[in-house]
Each structure stands twice: as C-alpha cells, then as structure tokens.
Structure 1
Amino acid sequence: MKMNFARILGYTALRYADNEALVNVERERRYTFGELHRVTNQIANMMRERLNLRRGDTWMCLVENDNMSLLHAWTALKGEAGAVYTNFRDSLEEHCWQLDFIKPKVVFIENTLLERYFDLLTQRGITVVCMDPPAAPRAGLLDFWDLVEGCSDANPDVESDALTDVLVYRFTGGTTGKSKCAQYTIDNWMAMRDASYFENEQYFGEATRNLHMAPISHASGFSILSTFFRGGCNVTQNIADLRQWCVNVQTEKITNALLVPTLIYRLLEVKETANYDLSTLTTIFYGGSPMSPAKLKLAQERFGNVFTQIYGATEVLQMVAMLSKADHLTGVETGRLASAGQVGTGIEVKVVDENGQEVAQGQTGEIWVRCRGTIAGYFNNPEGTTGEFDDGFWKSGDLGYLDDGGYLFIVDRKKDMIITGGFNVYAVEVEAALSSHPAVENAAVVGVPHAEWGETVHAEVLVRAGMEVSAEELIEHVKGLLGRFKAPKTICFVEALPLSPVGKVLRRHVREKYWKDQARRIG
C-alpha cells in the first residue's frame, strides 16, 4: 500500500494551521502547525537534494530532544532514506558500535559532540551536519540551517510502501544484552497513533501540551504523532532536571508528560516543587515498572489521579497494555495495581511455555505480542530475528500471566529469573519488596554464584539520603512480604546503581561483577 505521508500530514497542518505545534524550550523555538509542516518539508527536500539521501541510505541523529523533534517521524516519514534514532546520552563506545553496524551516510550531531566525534565520523566517510552554527569552521563540516536555507517547502512528493519500506531504525535498550536494531515502516508508526485513540480514556486532543523530558528517540516518542494528529502541542526539554521540568509545566501549561517511577518518587522529594503550579497536568504516563501503592498514594495526593501506566517495547510500536487512571483508583483493592494493565485494543497477546504452546489463563509463561506495531524483525540480524519472532509474534522475553479481566501481570524478565536450590525467584518481585521499605530509594536484585545452590539471591541497595537501615532489617522485611526462600541472602549498600539513559536499572551490569570469573555464566 503506497502512502505519501507529507500529503497526509498536510491535511492536519491545514486543519490546525495557526495552533502551536512544537516548542523547543532550550532553543526558544516555536512553530505553528503550518510553520512546522513547511519547515519539515524543507528538511526532507534538503536531505534528498543537498545530501543526496535516497532509498536504501540511512542517516543518524546524535541530537537532543529539541533538535530531534525536527527530525522525528513527521520529517522522516516524508523522505525516502532511513532515519536512525539513537540516544544522545549513550556512551561513545555504544555510538561507535551503532555507527559501524548501520553505516549511515550522514550524521546530524549536536555541536557539543563535535570535538570528540568529528574525526571518528569523517574517518568512516560519513558526512557530518552540526545543528547550530559552528564556533570555528572545519573542513567538511556542514551547518544544518545553511543546508535548509533556500530549499523548497513544497510536498517532497515521496511515495513509500506503508507496510514494507523501512524509514526509521531504533536501537533496543540493551538492559539485558547487546543492542539490536529495530526497523519500522510508516504503518508501524500510524498503528501507534491509531491505538492511542481507541482507548476508553482519551489522552490527546487540541488542548494537549505534551512535555518530553525523556528521550523522544525512544520511549517519549510514542506520543509524538498522537499529539500532533489531534492538534496538540509537543514541548521538548533537553536536560533531565526535575526543577526545570516543574518550571516548564508551569510556564507552558503542560497537560501530559512521561516519567519513569523513579523520577516520580524523586519529584515527591524535591520540596521546591510545591512552589510551582502544576495544576494543568492531566496525564502522567509511566512505564518500566509498577508503582508501589504507598508511593502512588503520595503521588496522587500531590498531583491528583493523573497516572497511566504503559507497557510496551522497542519491538512493538504500540501500547501493549495500559493501566488506566480509573484502574489506579481501584488497583490497590483489586490487586491489579501490580499489573501492567489491560491488553490494548487491537493487540494479540499470548502466554506460552518453553515449547511455544499457549498456557492456561493465570499460568506464568513468556509473553508474545502481535499487532500492527510489531516490527518484522531486526536490521542485518537474521539470527536475532529468527530467535525473537515467530509467525508475526514478538517473543518479549518477559514472564507473566493474564488474569480473568485481561490484565497482564509481568513477573520478570526471562533472563532475570534466579534459580536457587530448585526454587524460581523473580528479581523484580524482590526489588519491589525492598523498595517498599521507606529507607530504600532503589535496588537491583541478581543471582550470585553459590557452590551448593547454584546461585543465591543478592541485592545491591541505594539508601535514601539522610536515612539508615541495616542489611538484616531489609532481609527480614522481605521475608515478611515474600517468604524466606525469596529473601536476599546477602545485601550490599551502594552509592549508585547502573542506569540506562532512560532510567532503568541495568541488572546485567550488576550481575556481571559476580559471574565474570565463573566457568558457568547466567544471563
């Protein structure tokens, strides 16, 4: 099925022509729908005419949210070359691996990265485009806005097959292993937009002002098109600073935002937030883990009943399950606050055993997902594609079950199951028990080698500032909640836990310390 995405977007731009569509806080840029449509047409035409980016080529973004917003789906899907979205905050080593893997023809880069990245990019034969005028000229360095200047703002008139032409690439988070490269079609992106409009609770409308502090190259990008096609405004923030987030909510009259639970907890502890008017907030999306009931109660007292949990993945560009605002009011009593929510409209979920056979309702198995947003596979990785996809289903690697109301409960990552003395212990369950203690800010639970039991449960714990707790007290706390065999046998206190750029604890980094010299390795 052919689609001219610029034409599709053009109708939306006409409908909401004078509405504010995009605000870049740090660079103080503001675009109406008409202006944004025209400038993204210019960018798409510039890529084809001046950078010669054509079908089969790729271009990579090493940029922060405000510049990423100019190169996001509303631009990428107008062109014919593939956009590669990576996280600006990834390490140099990770970026180099990604560059060598996907071999982009052009890289759009923040000026702050030029000193470290320019030579390694040009040595690879990559054209480098900086997003702001450079402080000093460099041979071969191009200026983004110089390139855009004078380009036509007419429809680029590119037709792509909405079901098969790959126009966006994103790297998986890598919390349990080396990143893979997911590839997306126009229909994957449109499926995400459409699915958000199917739910009983509606989150996007003409009055929506959606603040992106999390990277829109990844999780925060799920709501970009949903906001845009309903006439709402996307507002970008580059720096992960909660005080600045409060300033932006107040100043820009923000209605929607995405925060991981850890940041919601920290937001409650920043006393200065009480000085800001955050009353315009109607929806705070969160994901990555459930909220503890005690902390949810505090958050609801502070912000109201505005929370919605989303379960999704890089490989599935839709909301697989959602725990609605209504669910957050009743979830403690029903026990469903610990779930990822009800399976979304148009999503196929099946829970299977080790042989891929569907298990009975309520039984734990691996969660498989199939929908329009599910990608067809990984770029240049047939082994990974074969191993993680089956008949259109993505094998999530998450262990969980469905209850009789269609609520999906995530027990753990498959690779993070600890087998100790014949018992299966799920790390996420122990982490939740530890985090329910008032002195615990965060925790990572892993299996560590044990000569007799194979492995035992171990925790690294980050204690809240100004509080004290002993390992013995925490172990007894978990025993009281989960029982003796699930409680950590050992606990060490740390000053920090390794986190991914989007705030998830990297258990594999914690685990590696304990298994690196072992003949038998887990994970």
Structure 2
Amino acid sequence: MKMNFARTFGYTAMRYPDNEALVNIERQRRYTFKELHLVTNRIVNMMRDRLHLRRGDAYMCLLDNDNMSLLHAWTALKGEAGAVYTNFRDSLEEHCWQADFIKPKVVFIENTLLASYFDIVAERGIVVVCMDPPETPREGLHYFWDLVEGSSDANPNVESDTLNDILIYRFTGGTTGKSKCAQYTIDNWMAMRDASYFENEQTFHDTTRNLHMAPISHASGFSVLPTYFRGGCNVTQNVPDLRQWCINVQTERITNALLVPTLIYRLLEVKETTAYDLSSLSTIYYGGAPMSPAKLNLAQERFGNIFQQIYGATECLQIVGILSKADHLTAVETGRLASAGRVGTGIELRIMDDAGNDVPLGETGEICVRCRGTICGYFNNPQGTAAEFVDGFWKSGDLGYLDDAGYLFIVDRKKDVIISGGFNVYAIEVEAALNSHPAVSMSTAVGIPHAEWGETVHAEVVLKEGMQVSAEELIEHVKRSVGRFKAPKSVSFVETLPLSAVGKVLRRQVREKYWKGESRRVG
C-alpha cells in the first residue's frame, strides 16, 4: 500500500488550522497546524533539493527536544530519506559508533556540540547542519534556517510503501548491552496512533496539551502522532528540570505528560512544587521502569487519580500493556498496582519458556509480542534479528506472567534474575520492597559473587535528603515485605545511581563493578 503522508497530515491541518500544534519552550517557537504543515513541507523539500537526501539515504539527528520536534515523525514520514533518531544526551563515543554503523549522509546537530563534534563528523565525509547561527564560520558547515529559506511549502509528493519503506531508525536505549538500531515503516507509526484511540480511556483530544520533557527521540515520541491527529498540541521542554516542568505545566496549561518513575519519586520530594498550579494535568503516563506501589499511592494523594501505566518498547510502537486510571482505583485491593495492566488492544502476546512453548496461565516466561507496531528487525544486524524475532513475534527479554483476568505482570529482565542457592530472586520485587520504606528515594538490587551460593542479593540505596536508616533496618523491612530468601544480604548507601539518558537505573553498571575479575558461576 502506498501513502502520501504529507497529504494525510494536510487534512488534519485543514481540520484544525488555527489550533496551536507545536510549542518549543526554550526557543519560544509556536506553530498552528497550518503553519506546522507548511514549515515541515519546506523542511522536506529543502532536504531533498538542497541536501539531496533521497530514498536509501539517511540523516542523523543529534538534537534537543525542540529542534528534534521539527524533524520528528510528522516531517520524516513526508520525505523519502531515513531519519536516524539518537538520544541527544548520549556520549560522543556512542554517537560516533552510531554514525559509523548507519553511515548518514547528513547530521543535524545542536550548536553546543559543534566544538567537540564538527571535525570528527566532517572527517567522515558527512554534511553538518547546525540549528542556530554559528558563532564561528566553518568550511562545510551549513545553518539550518538558511537552507530552509526560500524552499517551497508545497506538498513534496513523496509516495512511500507503508509496509516496506524504512523511514525512521531509532537506537535502543537498552540497559543490558550495546544499543541496536530499530527500523520503522509508516505503518508501524500509524499502528501506534490507531492503537492509542482504541483504548476505553481516551486521553487525546483537540484540547490536549502534551508536555515532552523526556526525549521525544525515544519514549516520549510515542504520543506525538496521537496528539496531532486529534488536533492537540505538543509542547517541548529541553532541560530535565522538575521545577521548570512545574512552571511549564502552570504556564502552558499542560494536560498530559510522561514521567519515568524515578522522576515521579523526585517530584514528590521537591517541596516547592506545591507552589505551582498543576491542576490542568489530567493524565500522567509512566513507564520505562517499574513503579514502587508505595510511592504511587503518595503520587495519587498529591495529584489525584490521573496516572496511566504504559508498557511498550523500542521494538514495538503499540501499547503492549496499559493500567488505566479506572484500574488504579482498585489496583491496591486487587494486588494489581504492580502489574503493567491489561494487554493492549490489537496486541498478540505469548508467554513462552526457553523452548518456545506457551507456559500455563500464571506461570512466568518470556513476554513475546506480535502486532502492526512490531518492527521487522534490526538494521544491519541479522544475528540480533534472528535471535529476537520469530514468526513476527519479538522476544522482549522481559519475564512476566498473565493472571486469570488478563493483567500482565513484569517480573524482571532475563539478565536481572539473581540465582542464589538455586532460588530465583527477581530484582524488581526487592527494589519495590526497598522503595516502599519512607527513607528510601530509589534503589537497585543486583547479584554479587558468593562462594557458596554462586550469587547473593546486594542492594545499593539512595536515601531521601535528611533521612537516615541502617542497612539492618532495611534488610528486615524487605524480609517482612517479600520474604527472607529474597531480602538483600548486604546494603550500600550511595549518593546516586547510574541512570540511562531516559532515566532508567542501569543495573548492569552496578552489577559489573562487583564481578570484575570473577568467573560468573550462574547465568
């Protein structure tokens, strides 16, 4: 099937011409739907005519949220070259690896990166385009808005095969190893949009104002098309600052936002947040990591019943699991507050053992997903594709089970199972128990070497400011919560835990420092 995405988006612009569509807080850019449609047409025509980006070419985006928003799906799907989305906050080393792997023809880059990046990128023969006027002219450096100037705002008239043409690439933000490059078609993105409208609780309307503080190159980007096609507005914030987030919610009358659990925990601890009017908020999505049930209760007391948990992945653009606002009203009593909710509409999900067989209801196995939003595989990685995709199912690497009402519980990552004395201990359970203690801000649990048991459970804990608790008290607290054999045998108190660019605790980094020089005795 062919689609001219510019024509499709144009109809939305005709329906909501004067609605505000995009607001970039830091650069104070505001576009109505009509203006956004025309400026993104100009950008696509510029990329084709002046940068000669055509079918089979790729361009890489090293951009903060506001500039990334100009080159996101509503622009990328209008063109014919492939957009490569990276996380702006990744390291220079990671970005260089990504560029060498995918070999883009053009890199769009923030000016703050020019000093350290320009020579390295240019020597690879890549055209460099900066997003603000450069302070120092450089040979071969182009300014984005100079290139856009004079470009036609007419429909680029690009027709793409919705099922086969790859138009967007995104690197996984995985916490368990080297990132892989997922590749997406138009249909993958349309599936995400459509699935958002299938759920009983509708959170996207023409009055929606959706604030993106998390990178829209990753998880926050999932909600941009559902917002647009309902006539709502996407608002970008570049700085991961919760005080500024509160100011933006109050000033822009934000209704929807995504926060990873670690940021919700911190929001509860930032006392000055009570000084801002956050009453416009009607939906806070959370996901990307498990939420402490105890802290979720505190968040509901503070903000009301506005939380939805979304479970998804880079490899699947649809909602795999959703714990609705209605679910949150009874989830404590039913014990389902720790679940990822019910399986999303249109999702085909299997819980499988290591041999690829379905496990009985209630038993733990690997979560495997097949749907329109599931990608066809990884770019230039046949081994990774063969290992993780079977018959259209993506093997998530998450261990979980379904209860008898169809609620999905995520037990752990496969590689984060701690095998101690022959017993499986799931890090998520230990962390949830630790995080329920009133003195704990966040924690992580890992297996460390033990001569007799192979591994033993160890926890690293960040305390709330001004709070104190002993390791022995925390261990006893976990014993009372989840049982003696799951409790950590040792606890270290740390100032910070290593977080990924999107806010996930990097268990792998914590674990590795304890295993240096050791031969791992367990898988």
| TM beyond 0.5 | yes
SS in 2 for 1:246: helix
For 1:179 and 1:423, locate their aligned partners in 2 and report how far apart those are by CA, in whole Å: 30
Cα offset for 1:441?
A: 0.8
Match in the other structure for 1:72: 72
Q: AA paired with 1:14? A: M
For 1:367 and 1:206, locate their aligned partners in 2 and report how far apart those are by CA, in whole Å: 35
Match in the other structure for 2:375: 375
Match in the other structure for 1:148: 148
Match in the other structure for 1:435: 435
Matched, 1:341 2:341: yes
Give the RMSD, CA atoms, in angstroms.
Answer: 0.9
For 2:106 and 2:341, locate their aligned partners in 1 and report how far apart those are by CA, in whole Å: 41
- Conserved? CA contact 1:58–1:84, under 8 Å: yes
For 1:451 and 1:268, locate their aligned partners in 2 and report how far apart those are by CA, in whole Å: 41
Matched, 1:36 2:36: yes
SS in 1 for 2:445: strand
Q: Please give the residue correspondences for 1:181-220 in structure 2 after superposition, counting only pairs within 5 Å.
A: 181-220=181-220
Cα offset for 1:521?
A: 7.0
Cα offset for 1:247?
A: 0.6
Aligned pairs, number:
523
- Conserved? CA contact 1:515–1:522, under 8 Å: no
Cα offset for 1:174?
A: 2.2
For 2:446 and 2:350, locate their aligned partners in 1 and report how far apart those are by CA, in whole Å: 27
For 1:457 and 1:171, locate their aligned partners in 2 and report how far apart those are by CA, in whole Å: 31
For 2:70 and 2:289, locate their aligned partners in 1 and report how far apart those are by CA, in whole Å: 30
Match in the other structure for 1:459: 459
SS in 1 for 2:485: helix
Match in the other structure for 2:280: 280
Q: Please give the residue correspondences for 1:376-455 in structure 2 after superposition, counting only pairs within 5 Å.
A: 376-455=376-455
Q: AA paired with 2:210? A: N
- Conserved? CA contact 2:455–2:522, under 8 Å: no
Match in the other structure for 2:176: 176
Cα offset for 1:206?
A: 0.2
Cα offset for 1:522?
A: 6.3
- Conserved? CA contact 1:515–1:521, under 8 Å: no
Q: 1:107-157, CA deviations, whole angstroms, 9 ceiling, x for partnerless residues?
A: 000000000000000011110000011111111000000000000000000
SS in 2 for 1:484: coil
- Conserved? CA contact 1:448–1:515, under 8 Å: yes
Q: AA paired with 2:33? A: F
Cα offset for 1:303?
A: 1.2
- Conserved? CA contact 2:62–2:107, under 8 Å: yes
Cα offset for 1:69?
A: 0.3
- Conserved? CA contact 2:212–2:220, under 8 Å: yes
Q: AA paired with 1:332? A: V
For 2:94 and 2:76, locate their aligned partners in 1 and report how far apart those are by CA, in whole Å: 23
Q: Please give the residue correspondences for 1:27-426 in structure 2 after superposition, counting only pairs within 5 Å.
A: 27-426=27-426
SS in 1 for 2:114: helix
Cα offset for 1:490?
A: 1.2
For 1:52 and 1:123, locate their aligned partners in 2 and report how far apart those are by CA, in whole Å: 19
Cα offset for 1:431?
A: 0.8
TM-score, with structure 1 as normaliser? 0.99
For 1:241 and 1:462, locate their aligned partners in 2 and report how far apart those are by CA, in whole Å: 19
For 1:126 and 1:286, locate their aligned partners in 2 and report how far apart those are by CA, in whole Å: 37
- Conserved? CA contact 1:189–1:317, under 8 Å: yes
TM-score, with structure 2 as normaliser? 0.99
Cα offset for 1:495?
A: 1.1
Unaligned runs of 5+ in 2: none
Match in the other structure for 1:505: 505
- Conserved? CA contact 2:199–2:345, under 8 Å: yes
For 1:121 and 1:292, locate their aligned partners in 2 and report how far apart those are by CA, in whole Å: 42
- Conserved? CA contact 2:59–2:81, under 8 Å: yes
For 1:291 and 1:169, locate their aligned partners in 2 and report how far apart those are by CA, in whole Å: 29
User: Greater CA deviation, 148-157 or 452-461?
Assistant: 452-461
For 2:169 and 2:522, locate their aligned partners in 1 and report how far apart those are by CA, in whole Å: 30
Q: AA paired with 1:87? A: N
User: Greater CA deviation, 513-522 or 368-377?
Assistant: 513-522
Q: AA paired with 1:384? A: G
The sequence identity of aligned pairs, in percent, is: 80
Q: 1:5–1:466: structure 2 CA closer, same or farther, 3 Å change rule?
A: same
Match in the other structure for 1:470: 470
Q: AA paired with 1:260? A: V
- Conserved? CA contact 2:84–2:168, under 8 Å: yes
For 1:401 and 1:367, locate their aligned partners in 2 and report how far apart those are by CA, in whole Å: 8
Cα offset for 1:288?
A: 2.3
- Conserved? CA contact 2:68–2:216, under 8 Å: yes
SS in 1 for 2:169: strand
Cα offset for 1:274?
A: 1.2
- Conserved? CA contact 2:417–2:425, under 8 Å: yes
Cα offset for 1:296?
A: 2.1
Match in the other structure for 1:484: 484
For 1:32 and 1:14, locate their aligned partners in 2 and report how far apart those are by CA, in whole Å: 11
SS in 2 for 1:165: coil
- Conserved? CA contact 1:309–1:340, under 8 Å: yes
Match in the other structure for 1:9: 9
Q: 1:411-442, CA deviations, whole angstroms, 9 ceiling, x for partnerless residues?
A: 00001001111000001111111111111111
Match in the other structure for 2:21: 21
Unaligned runs of 5+ in 1: none
Q: AA paired with 1:352? A: M
For 2:515 and 2:196, locate their aligned partners in 1 and report how far apart those are by CA, in whole Å: 42
Q: 1:310-357, CA deviations, whole angstroms, 9 ceiling, x for partnerless residues?
A: 000000011101000001111000111110000000001100011010
Q: AA paired with 1:104? A: P
For 2:343 and 2:297, locate their aligned partners in 1 and report how far apart those are by CA, in whole Å: 24
Cα offset for 1:75?
A: 0.3
